[in-house]
Structure 1
């Protein structure tokens, strides 16, 4: 019987999701960066940048034990990318860092808790492996799904993620 570790499972899932996310980001039209489908929605560029910056957030789950949103010295993503090339370069850089940190960790470390909080208000306090899945992968997949809707509304062919899309049939 073959068993794989928590770390190996997360890395395998991450590998698939990163490839799909990059396909979506490659189609984001920078010339329509200010597009938003609704006044309460992020702009296309804010959303695409958020999807990329979430990779650094996932890395925090692996490398740290907590993150306080009120801490002015806490790591923050760099300035907003000013081109699609910059966005994709950041995606590649953050993806490589996340994969490297996950490969350097082990199942034992992934069972230790990560606490996300804003001062005394605890947003969540869960095992790192769970944090990576819930607030990392699932959160990213949610926003990537929003990005595909933006692409559809802008009449840009949507890439297939879990099989062919309507544009690829």
Structure 2
């Protein structure tokens, strides 16, 4: 759980930048990549990340412009990446304008439970990270390069002139 708005914004800055790098790498063709017909496509997961910002944060009372959670998945990777960028910017601005450090202790009804806003922010971050991991596997299957997030990817190692360590 986050104790201050600044603590969240510093952490979220890194996490949202990493998500943006992943989304910027997608292609229109890659959006249809799937593990199976029963699972979400790469495009559906990417769009879910975008729309969850608005869906989850609206439950806290935070007011900002976001795509509806039930909006159709765009067929354009550029559109998805742009929607994440603008939604994220609007969310961060709204947090700065509408919340104080004391807001983080406020309880909100979230999916049948009571969560503090600080807890919501932690779960939002973990949720995004979870889906970002799913996306990188599907990106590999689609033949896309994978940007490094918490360290260099195979492509990053190659750019450094080395080989990724095999463990």
TM-score greater than 0.5 by the shorter chain:
yes
Q: CA shift at 1:53, angstroms?
A: 1.3
Match of 1:94 in 2: 87
Number of equivalences: 150
Q: Which has the higher strand share?
A: 1
Match of 1:145 in 2: 133
- 1:33 equivalent among 31, 34, 46: 31
Structure 1 position 55 matched with structure 2 position 53: yes
The TM-score with structure 1 as length reference comes to 0.80
Q: For each residue in 1:49-88, what CA deviation from the matched residue of structure 2 results, as whole angstroms up to 9, or x when unmatched?
A: 1111122134325535xxxxxxxxxx83444323122112
Q: CA shift at 1:141, angstroms?
A: 0.5
The farther-off stretch of 31-40 and 140-149 is 31-40
- 2:105 equivalent among 107, 111, 117: 111
Contact 1:63 1:101 in 2 (8 A): no
Match of 2:164 in 1: none
Distance, in Å, in 2 between the alignment partners of 1:141 and 1:47 is 12
The TM-score with structure 2 as length reference comes to 0.81
Q: CA RMSD of the aligned region, Å? A: 2.0
SS of 1:114 mapped into structure 2: strand
Provide structure 2 residue ranges, at least 5 long, that are not aligned to the other structure.
158-167
SS of 2:146 mapped into structure 1: coil
Match of 1:68 in 2: none
Structure 1 position 128 matched with structure 2 position 110: no
SS of 1:63 mapped into structure 2: coil
- 1:76 equivalent among 34, 43, 68: 68
- 2:152 equivalent among 149, 159, 164: 164
SS of 2:32 mapped into structure 1: coil
Provide structure 1 residue ranges, at least 5 long, that are not aligned to the other structure.
65-74
Contact 1:55 1:94 in 2 (8 A): yes
Distance, in Å, in 1 between the alignment partners of 2:126 and 2:8 is 12
Distance, in Å, in 2 between the alignment partners of 1:52 and 1:112 is 25
